[in-house]
Amino acid sequence: MAIIGSGNIGTDLMFKALLSKKVEAVAMAGIDPASDGLARARRRGLAVTAEGVDGLVRLSEFEDVDIVIDATSAGAHPHNAAAVQQYGKRVIDLTPAALGPFVVPPVNLGHHLEAPNMNMVTCGGQATIPIVAAVSSQTTVHYAEIVASIASKSAGPGTRANIDEFTETTTHAIEQVGGARRGKAIIVLNPAEPPLIMRDTVFCLIGEADHDQIRASVEKMVAEVAEYVPGYRLKQDVQFTPVDEPVTTLTAEPVTTRVSVFLEVQGAAHYLPAYAGNLDIMTSAALRVAERIAGGTV
């Protein structure tokens, strides 16, 4: 595999790939010759270029690459994807560009393994969409709202430049992948010092349903995500609150209950600080997809 982007996400992904027994990271492309990511990649034996994707395709190692992971920005992704796909390379997109199908590994990876370009939604999407899907597997989710709170220090220039894309992409994926009839996504950049780890809240509006089955489904899904993101966990028990006031839905079906799920994501600290769980869950999900494409059993 090759990585485009030598910033925080691309560098953390490289360290995770170096620990993998199913994929081999052989190249990294960036645009800053002095970047820490390129320096670290060079020291670990990867071929590197500071000429972006155009430099990547000229590397001799690129011929043997099967998978290219784009860790740049939504604006840069269309050019990057086109540049490598003309050589028949598979693309995993860590930006909110959403050119290919949304992929959340424990929910729908099996449906898109042959897709030439897979989009990893957003950090908030990777953390919360599995929960929405777990609830919607048991009952109709009329509305789902997610709030992703991340440490301000873990939000680099790319994240800040893509806030609009984050909310739009995550909202669409809540509906398309999570199964909610309507969705909404909110991101909060928390300026607290010392920085707090990523926390996510998921609210789902449902009708009459078996609460024990929903609780079990959510707990099972949390365990599945934790297989590749060890710091992913429930902050407290799943909560069910009666809805007293009338709620307007897309259908005439009554809404009786609000399901509340509180999560936290602690990073593995391979390269990024442990509080940057928002970035860790993205790189972990991308590696999960790469390993499945490579044919490994996960």
pLDDT of 297 reads 44
Q: Is 119 annotated as a binding residue?
A: no
CATH number belonging to domain 123-275: 3.30.360.10
No. of helices (H) and no. of strands (E), the chain:
10, 12
Which parts of the chain sit beneath pLDDT 50?
A: 297-298
Residue range(s) of every CATH 3.40.50.720 domain in the chain: 2-120+281-293
Q: Are strands 47-49 and 67-70 parallel, antiparallel or unpaired?
A: unpaired
Q: Do residues 90 and 114 touch, judged by C-beta distance below 8 A?
A: no
Q: Do residues 92 and 290 touch, judged by C-beta distance below 8 A?
A: yes
Q: Which residues are catalytic?
A: 123
Q: Are strands 117-119 and 47-49 parallel, antiparallel or unpaired?
A: unpaired
Q: Is 156 annotated as a binding residue?
A: yes
Please list the alpha-helical segments (H only) found in 111-228.
123-136, 157-161, 163-176, 211-226
Residue range(s) of every CATH 3.30.360.10 domain in the chain: 123-275
Q: Is 190 annotated as a binding residue?
A: no
The Cα 183–Cα 259 span in angstroms is: 14
Q: Is 25 annotated as a binding residue?
A: no
How far is C-alpha 253 from the geometric centre of its chain's CA atoms? 32
Classify domain 2-120+281-293 at the CATH class level.
alpha beta
The Cα 227–Cα 216 span in angstroms is: 17
